[in-house]
Amino acid sequence: MKRIYTIEDACIGCHLCEVGCITEHSQSKDPIRAFLHEQVRSISRCTVEELDGGVISLSTTCRHCDEPDCLRACISGAIQKNDAGVVRIDTEQCVGCWSCVMACPYGAVQRNLAKKKANKCDLCPDRKSPACVDACPNRALVYKEGSQK
Amino acid sequence: MNYVIIGNSVAAVGAIRGIRGVDEQGNITVISRERHIAYGRPLISYLLGGLITEKRMAYLPEDFYEKNRVNLLLDAEVVGVDSARKQVKLAAGDTIGFDKLLIATGGDPFVPPIEGLAGKDRIFTFTTWDDAEKLKGIAADMERVVVIGGGLIGLKAAEGIHLLGKQISIVELADRILSAAFDRPAGRVVAKKMKANGIDVITEDTVVRIEGDGARISGVTLKSGDYIPCDTVVVAIGVRPAAGFLKGSKVEVNRGIVVNDTMETSVKGIYAAGDVAEASDFFSGQKNPMPIWPDAYIQGDVAGTAMAGGKKSYSGGLAMNSIELFKVPTISMGITNPVEPKEFDILTYQDAENYQYRKIVLQENRLVGAVLVGQVDRAGIFSGLIREKVDVTPFKEQLLDPDFGFIHLTKEIRSTLFAPYGKVA
């Protein structure tokens, strides 16, 4: 399956992947509305980490594991892997117990405290390629066939 | 090939998927003594407290049993296993033959013989959907509840009952609540929050007598001599592997059903997984029952794969719990409270005022345990470091940092985890 990979040396720490992700998962799918006008801002499913004021940075996100630790830890069955291999959270079913946060070795499940639901990368089902990848000005994020790492 | 699985919770589900990953053809029969399809067992406290409806109890997509072609027998209790004839016997009298058998019956709540307990109406345990229903059913005329046991089950029961607006006292024998997963400061932080919510948390004491006339409960007397008036008692001391029906089956049962690294028991062709099993521990390799949800899934998966002839091996049970109590999230994993602290390197950060606590336990520069209270984000990175036995020396100073992440690890690790393969145009 296609997965999102990160080229650390190309990352400039601009956080546009997060902006793209938040926008895509907003109600309006418009960045200005998503950031300034929507009542609850959605959570970015990718996490940009920085060190030394941005000298080192990279964007981390879900690996859509073959044997997902998050799915195995989920107590409500909200996390399922579909036939295409995409690991998704059904936020209706999620009870916000954070077992997936505890289990994911990639730190790729976020706590949405406003909604008390876990969020994670869904590989943008409404798009050809994920919003974070499209938003990256430096092609530090690539979306290509590959295995889980 | 006829696969029979006794039990229908998370280990069974892991096993069904494990079997189907290897064998699409064989017959799978699942026998459950409960009347429900697989449900999120830890959700019973949410159900009791009215946080979720019954509809959300279902653990699996609706088409799961059909899609995996599982023959499901509900409300059927297995009373015996004949390993020589390869048959299980049901309470109703009929027998079912198997080629491969998985025992995934979980645990039975343990109720000690407390004076005055026999014959009382409102003594409950709290491990099944039906237990939650029963408690909910009498909620209207329940006023004061005593929960015996301040472990995971007791605290979740207490939280559910609290949400129903009832008065609760928790009586715990150890010096703190959640003594299995927490150290003293973490236990204190959570106890403080519970007390702030009006829950009476009593430690280093226990119920010695249940008082009342006939079937009615009027209160409990503690070892210290204190008396707590109440009308309902929840016994949440712990669970024991539900393996009683194996008597005479030749399957070796110690504290749980003893299994090897493919989850096979002492009898060839018979496997066990989940809370009923006694599998090896991640750190010591010693056999140990490990009643942990994710572990039960993994054990089920390993067992199912092995039963179908595939190859998978259990890497050992790693205790981990994520529990949110009264809006204080907590995550603990691995060795959190070493018996010989001198052999470990322990880092802590505490801000009790704001219900924050972090503890990192290292042994020979390897992470072996963590407790996070309050800020629990990305806790799983620690579980990865534990499982992969990563040398933490280069970033030891950053481990307590709430923003700890991959950026603090070596570039090599980051590339291994996140970089693309091959050349990227």
Give B201's strand partners. B170
Q: How far apart are CA B161 and CA B168, in angstroms?
A: 8
Gap between the Cα atoms of A93 and A127, Å rounded: 24
Same domain, A114 and A127: no
How open is the CA angle B300-B301-B304, to the nearest 5 degrees? 80
For residue B352, the model assigns a pLDDT of: 83
Q: Are residues A103 and A128 in the same domain?
A: no
Determine the CATH number of domain B2-108+240-307. Answer: 3.50.50.60
pLDDT band at B425 (very low <50, low <70, confident <90, very high): very low
Q: How many CB atoms lie within 10 A of CB B223?
A: 13
**pLDDT of B33:** 95
Hey, what are B320's tokens?
Answer: 């981990």
Test B320 with A103 for CB contact under 8 angstroms: yes
> Count of domains in chain A?
2
Which run of H or E residues covers position B72?
strand B70-73
Does B423 score more than 60 pLDDT?
no
Q: In this structure, what is the dihedral angle of CA atoms B217, B222, B225, B230, given to the nearest 10 degrees?
A: -30
Q: Which residues of B touch A70 (CB under 8 A)?
A: 380
Q: How many CA atoms lie within 13 A of B64 on its CB side?
A: 20
* CA B162-B189-B131 angle, 5° bins: 30
Burial environment of residue B57 by CB neighbours within 10 A (0 to 12, 13 to 18, 19 or more): buried
Structure tokens at B112: 């000690």
Longest dimension (CA), chain B: 81
Mean pLDDT value of segment A117-129: 97
A128 and A115 assigned to the same domain: no
What's the confidence (pLDDT) of residue B381? 98
Which ranges in chain B are annotated with CATH 3.30.390.30?
327-418
- The answer to whether B168 and B158 have CB atoms below 8 angstroms apart is yes
Is it the case that residue B424 has pLDDT exceeding 80?
Answer: no
- Find residue B264's DSSP bridge partners: B271
The answer to whether the CB of B262 falls within 8 A of the CB of B306 is yes
Cβ atoms < 10 Å from Cβ of B27: 14
Q: Which CATH number fits domain B123-237: 3.40.50.80, 3.40.50.10860, 3.50.50.60, 3.30.1330.20?
A: 3.50.50.60
Nearest CA to B330 out of B176, B164, B171 is that of B176
- Over the stretch A58-72, which tens digit does the pLDDT of each residue have? 999 999 999 999 999
Q: Are strands B239-241 and B232-235 parallel, antiparallel or unpaired?
A: unpaired
- Interchain CB contact of A14 with B (< 8 Å): no
For a pLDDT cut of 90, what percent of chain B falls above it?
A: 91
β-pair partners for A44: none
Element at A32 (helix H, strand E)? helix A31-32
Closest partner residue to B40 (CB to CB) among A6, A51, A77 is: A77
Q: Which of A21, A105, A126 is nearest to A63 (CA)?
A: A105
CB contact under 8 A, B41 and A60: no
Nearest to B420 among A58, A60, A144 (CB): A144
Determine which helix (DSSP H) or strand (DSSP E) holds B157, and give its type and residue range.
helix B152-163
Q: Which of B60, B377, B387 sits opposite A101 (nearest CB)?
A: B377
The stretch B155-159 carries a mean pLDDT of 94
Residues of chain A found within 8 Å of residue B294, distances taken between Cβ atoms: 69, 72-73, 99, 103
Check A101 against B378: CB less than 8 A apart.
Answer: yes
Place of tokens 């040396």: A9
ipTM tops 0.90: yes
Chain B, 240 to 279: residues with Cβ < 8 Å from chain A are none
**Range list of H helices, B281-390:** 293-307, 380-388
The pair of structure tokens assigned to B256 is: 């749980």
How close A86 gets to chain B, by Cα (Å)?
A: 15
Domain B327-418: which CATH number of 3.30.70.100, 3.30.390.30, 3.40.50.720, 3.40.50.12780: 3.30.390.30
Residue B35 pLDDT > 60:
yes
Largest CA distance in chain A: 41
Partner A contacted by B326 (CB < 8 A): no
DSSP per residue, A3-25: EEEE-GGG-----HHHHHHHHHT
Q: Residue A114 sits in which domain range?
A: 67-120
Count chain A–chain B contacts defined by CB atoms under 8 A.
142
Q: Does A102 touch chain B (CB under 8 A)?
A: yes
Cβ atoms of B390 and B408 within 8 Å: the answer is no
CA distances from A2 to A6, A147, A148, A149 (A): 13, 8, 10, 13
Domain CATH number, residue A39: 3.30.70.20
Report how far residue B339's alpha carbon sits from residue B358's, in angstroms, rounded to the nearest whole number.
19
Instruction: State pLDDT tens for residues B113-122.
Output: 999 999 999 9
Average pLDDT of the residues in A117-142? 97
Average pLDDT over all residues of chain A: 95
Comparison of pLDDT for B290 and A99, the residue scoring more? A99
Contact B383 A106 (CB under 8 A): no
Residue pair B63/B107 in contact (Cβ under 8 Å)? The answer is no
| pLDDT tens, position by position, B64-85 | 999 999 999 999 999 999 999 9
At a CB cut-off of 8 Å and minimum separation 6, what does B263 contact? B102, B271, B272, B273, B277, B279, B299, B302, B303, B306, B314
Q: Are residues A115 and A79 in the same domain?
A: yes
Residues of B in contact with A57 (CB under 8 A): 407
Helix-strand-coil split of chain A, %, nearest 5: 25, 25, 50
Which residues between 138 and 167 in chain B have a beta carbon less than 8 angstroms from any beta carbon of chain A?
Answer: none
- Give strand pairing partners of B145: B168, B232
Sign of CA dihedral A9, A13, A14, A18: positive
Query: How distant, in Å, are the alpha carbons of B140, B161, B227, B237 from that of B144?
Result: 12, 10, 13, 19
Q: Yes or no: say if B66 and B59 are a contact pair by the CB < 8 Å rule.
A: no
Task: Judge if A85 and A46 occupy the same domain.
Answer: no
Averaged pLDDT of chain B: 95
Chain B contact probe: residue of A79, A102, A110 with most B CBs at under 10 A: A102
Rounded to whole angstroms, the Cα distance separating B120 from B374 reads 40
Provide the pLDDT for residue B339. 87
| Together in a domain, A107 and A55 | no
Position A149 pLDDT exceeds 70: no
Q: What pLDDT is recorded for position A54? A: 83
Q: What is the pLDDT of residues B298-312, one digit of tens each?
A: 999 999 999 999 999
Q: Which ranges in chain B are annotated with CATH 3.50.50.60?
A: 2-108+240-307, 123-237
Query: Residue B356 pLDDT more than 50?
Result: yes
- B40 and chain A in contact, CB less than 8 A: yes
Q: How far is Cα B210 from Cα B231, in angstroms, rounded to an integer?
A: 10
Enumerate the residues of chain A whose CB falls inside 8 A of the CB of residue B378. Answer: 47, 101, 107
Q: Which residue does chain B place closest to A92, by CA atoms?
A: B56
pLDDT exceeding 70 applies to what percent of chain B?
99
Does one domain contain both A81 and A55? Answer: no
Residue-level pLDDT at A148 = 77
pLDDT exceeds 70 at position B126: yes
Give the pair of three-digit tokens for residue A44. 């970015």
Task: For B238-274, write each residue's pLDDT tens digit.
Answer: 999 999 999 999 999 999 999 999 999 999 999 999 9
The reported pLDDT for the residue numbered B377 is 97
- 3-class DSSP string for B180-209: CCCCHHHHHHHHHHHHHCCCEEEECCCEEE
Shared domain for A45 and A94, answered yes or no, is no
> Does A140 lie in the same domain as A88?
no
Task: Label residue B203 by pLDDT band (50, 70, 90).
Answer: very high
Q: Residue B212 has what pLDDT?
A: 96
